[in-house]
A and B are shown apart, each in its own frame.
Chain A
Amino acid sequence: MNNSDNVITPDENGRFGDFGGRYVAETLMPPILALEAAYSDAKTDPNFLSELDSFFNHYVGRPSPLYYAERLTEFTNGAKIYFKRDELNHTGAHKINNCMGQILLAKRMGKTRIIAETGAGQHGVATATVAARFGLKCIVYMGATDIVRQKPNVFRMRLLGAEVRSVKSGTATLKDAMNEALRDWVTNVDDTFYCIGTVAGPHPYPAMVRDFQSIIGREAKKQILEREGRLPDALIACIGGGSNAMGLFHEFINDDSVRLIGVEAAGRGVESGLHAASLTGGSPGVLHGNRTYLLQNEDGQITDAHSISAGLDYPGIGPEHAYLHDIGRAEYLSATDDEALHWFQECARLEGILPALEPSHAIPRTVEIAKEIGKDGIVIMNMCGRGDKDVFTIADALGEHISEGTEG
C-alpha cells in the first residue's frame, strides 16, 4: 500500500511538522512502540497486504463506485460533481477500511481483545463487525449522550457480539469515550489492541489509519482517470478527526493542481461558540496522545464541541490535517447544523441517496466550490457514510415524530 510517491510521512517521532507525537502515559509507551514495530513490519509484508486486499474486495465490497451526481450537478450549474461512494461499504461507512487493517494487525500481533471508542457508532459497528469475523472479544466505549442519539448503531453493535460500555464522564461524547478507551488500554496492555477510529491519537495511529484509509484516494484517482482522463480540480470531505478526508487526500498530496478541501462542523455557527471546528475556531494543544488543533479555553482546558453529527462532535483534529492547514496544502472550511440538514434533504431528493449527517456537511461546500470552479471543472466529494443511522436525529430536528421501532 506504500507504492505511492507521497512525501508526507511523519518523522521517526511521529511528527507532521510541529504536530503529532506520542503524548501518552509511560504505561502506554511500550505498547505503542510495539505497535509501531508490528505495523512497520506488516505494511511491507506482501502476505499481509494481499490478505487485506482480499478482505477489501470480498468482505468490505471494494472498490466503491465513483458516481457522477448528475442531478446535483445540474442543480448546481457548475463543475461536475462526483461522489466517492464509501457509504456503500459493508457497515455503511468508510470506517471499516481502517478496522479491517487494524484488526488483521491485531491478529498478527496475537492480541485477543479489541477495544474501540465511537461517536456516531459507525466506527464501533465496523470494529464489532470485523472483531466478530475473526472471533475476537470486542468492547466499544461510547458517550452516554451519543448512545441516546445513535440507538440503531448501539443495537447493531450488540447484535454483533460487542459489549457497548456507556461513558458518563465529562461531556459523555466522543472525547470522553476516547479517555475511557485509553484507561482500558492502560489497564489491559498485555492482551488488548486499541483500534482507534480516526487519524488521531499517538503515533503511529495517525499515519497507520491514514494508510488503511488511503485505498479511497487510490481508487478515486484510478476511477477519475478512467472516466475523465484527467485529475479532478478539487477533493472535498467532511472532517471530525479527519480519517475519510485523509483517506481521500493522501494519494493526491503531490498533485499540486488538485485542491484539497476539508469541511469541519460549525454546529450553530463558529461565532456562536457551539461548534466542532478545531482548525477554524481552535488553537494548538495536546490531547489524546497528539499535538494538534483543539477547542480549548484560555487556561488550556478542553471545551465542549457541538455538532448535530455525533461523528464530528470532537474537539480535536488529526495532526496531519493540522500540518496541511499550516503549510497551506489543504483548505479548511466549515458548515453548520442547518446547512447539513438542508443538504441532507436535497441530496435525498436529487440523487436518491440518504447521506450520513457527517458527509451532509461537505455537500454545501461542494456545491459552492463546483460553482466557483465552473462548468469545465471536476470535483470529487467523499460520500463517506450513509444516513440510515441518522433518521431519528433528523426527524427530531425537522419536528417529526417517528417510531423508534421496538415500542412501536
Chain B
Amino acid sequence: MTTRINETFKNLKQTDSTAFVAYIMGGDPDRVVSQKMLNALPDNGVDIIELGMPFTDPAADGPIIEEAGLRSLKAGTKLSTIFEMASEFRKINTTTPIIIMGYCNPVHHMGYDLFSKKAKASGIDGAIIVDLPPEEDSELREAFNLNDLALIRLATPNTDKNRLPRVVSGTKGFVYYVSMTGITGASSDNLNSVPEQVHKIKQASKLPVVVGFGIKTPDDAHKISNDADGVVVGSAIVKELNEKGVEAALGLVKALAKAVHK
C-alpha cells in the first residue's frame, strides 16, 4: 500500500528524522534464516524494508548481492517464496513498508497482473525493478496502480535535467537516488555530490528522496542522512549476514539505524 510508505515518511518528518532502509536478499541463505532476519528488522531500527528477489543474471549488482541471489536460488527460493515471506512478516507487523527489489524477467514470466495481485495480497507496498526504466514500465505501472502499489523509479548521477522530470513523474512512494554510476556494493568516492543531487531531485519532485549504493558504514549513513529523506544500506548487511550470521548482521543494522536517526 502506498499509504504505509506515505505514513512512514510523515511520521519521521514529525520528529525531523530520516528513514533507515535496509536491504536483504529474500531466501538468503535459506527461507528460515532469511525470515528470522526479516522479522527482526523493525525492532532494530529499520523504517522501510527492501526485500530482494533473486535472479540468475543480476547485471546491475556486484558480487555480494549476486552471490546472495545464487545462494537463495540454490536453497529453492521462488517468487512465491518472497510473497510467503512478506505474508509471514505481516502477521507480526502491519506498519513497516516492504519494497521488493529485483529484475524484470521473473516478474514478466509470472505476468504483470498476477504479480501485482499477489504482491498486494502478501502485504507488499511497492517494488523496484532495476532493469525496467520509464521507457518500459508502463504496463507494470498500470497493474501497480490498480493494486495501490508503488512502482519506485531510480534516478542516477547521469539522469540529466531533461530526463529527470520524466523519471520522477511516474514514481510513487519515494524517488530512489542511486548515488553513483556503478553496481551495488562498489565503493563510492562520490558521496560528496549527494547533497547537490538530492536538492536537484527535490526541485523536480515533492516525493521523499532516498539515497542508496556505496553506503557501507554508520559514518557514511549519518553523512547522507543530513540531506536525504532516507538512506539505504544493502551489500554491507548482506555480507555481514553471510560471513557472521543473523546476530552480527542485526548488530550492524542497529548501528546503521542509530547513525541515520541521530
Contact = CB atoms under 8 A, between A and B. Distances in A.
A26 B167 contact: yes
Contacts of B55: 301
Contacts of A13: 135
A7 B59 CA distance: 33
B181 interface: yes
B57 to A, nearest CB: 5
Contact of B154 (A25, A182, A188): A25
B159 A23 contact: no
B181 A285 contact: no
A183 B59 contact: yes
A174 to B, nearest CB: 12
A24 B134 CA distance: 10
Contacts of A296: 105, 109
Interface stretch (B7-15, B17-25, B85-93, B125-133): B125-133
A287 B104 CA distance: 8
A288 B60 CA distance: 11
A283 B105 CA distance: 11
B210 interface: no
B141 to A, nearest CB: 15
A349 to B, nearest CB: 41
Interface string A281-325: 001011111010010100111100000000000000000000000
B218 interface: no
Q: Is the interface of B mostly helix, strand, loop or mixed?
A: loop
A26 B156 contact: yes
Contacts of A29: 133, 135, 159, 163
Contact of B60 (A25, A175, A287, A291): A25
Contacts of A186: 60, 181-183
A189 B158 CA distance: 9
Contacts of A300: 79, 105-110
A25 B59 CA distance: 9
Interface string A163-189: 000000110000110110011001111
Given A183-B59, A183-B62, A299 B178 contact: no
A230 to B, nearest CB: 43
A17 B64 CA distance: 37
Nearest to B186: A187
B171 to A, nearest CB: 11
Range, interface on chain A: 35 or more
A99 B102 CA distance: 33
B105 A26 contact: no
Interface string B213-255: 0000000000000000000000000000000000000000000
Interface string A23-35: 1111101110000
Contacts of B104: 23, 286
A299 B182 contact: no
A26 B154 contact: yes
A62 interface: no
A22 interface: yes
A21 interface: yes
Interface in A55-113: none
B78 A299 contact: yes
Contact of B178 (A27, A283, A294): A27
Contact of B136 (A22, A169, A176): A22
Interface string A264-283: 00000000000000000001
B106 A21 contact: no
A13 B133 CA distance: 12
B183 A299 contact: no
A287 B153 CA distance: 19
B59 A26 contact: no
A388 B185 CA distance: 41
Interface in B96-113: 103-110
B56 A26 contact: no
A406 B48 CA distance: 58
B155 interface: yes
Those 3 A-B pairs whose CB atoms lie nearest each other, nearest first: A300-B109, A300-B106, A182-B59
Given A26-B178, A300-B106, A301-B55, 6 more contacts: A26-B133, A183-B59, A285-B109, A291-B108, A300-B105, A302-B56
Interface of B: 55-60, 62-63, 66, 70, 73, 78-79, 103-110, 130-133, 135-136, 153-156, 158-160, 163, 167, 178, 181-183, 186
25 contacts: A13-B135, A21-B135, A21-B136, A23-B132, A23-B133, A24-B131, A26-B153, A27-B181, A27-B182, A30-B160, A31-B158, A183-B183, A186-B182, A187-B186, A189-B181, A283-B109, A285-B105, A286-B131, A287-B57, A291-B108, A294-B105, A299-B78, A299-B79, A301-B56, A301-B105
